[in-house]
Amino acid sequence: MSKIFLYGEFQTSVPSFTKELWGRVNEQLRDAKGLVNKTWLYGLKTNTVGGIYEFDSEENARDFATGLYAEQAKHVGASLTVKLFDGEAVREASKAMRSPYF
């Protein structure tokens, strides 16, 4: 099993980050194949919403980005920024900095 991190951000402003918003999304994400965890992000002064997602494989991360995540962005009329990162390549350095993800 590999460790792939996906950074994603909807390019739209959300006036307030409420449970009404994140609760529905969390329910959708619970069944995302290969999703290990998500840390929500809320942009300072931009009010953009996104997150750091950990997946168990590059394939599952890519399927999520082009599937459910793209559908969610389309549903709210937002452009989507996505980047994938190799968690295994940075394991030792991250552990040395006490990252909670390793």
Asked whether the beta carbons of 25 and 51 are under 8 A apart, the reply is: no
Encode pLDDT of 73-82 as tens digits. Answer: 999 999 999 9
Indicate if the pLDDT at residue 8 is higher than 80: yes
Closest CA to 14 of 51, 50, 47: 47
d(Cα 64, Cα 6) in Å, to the nearest integer?
Answer: 10
Encode pLDDT of 42-73 as tens digits. Answer: 999 999 999 999 999 999 999 999 999 999 99
Please give the structure tokens belonging to residue 80: 């989507």
d(Cα 21, Cα 12) in Å, to the nearest integer?
Answer: 14
User: In this structure, which topology does domain 4-96 adopt according to CATH?
Assistant: Alpha-Beta Plaits (3.30.70)
* Per-residue confidence band for 20, with pLDDT thresholds at 50, 70 and 90: very high
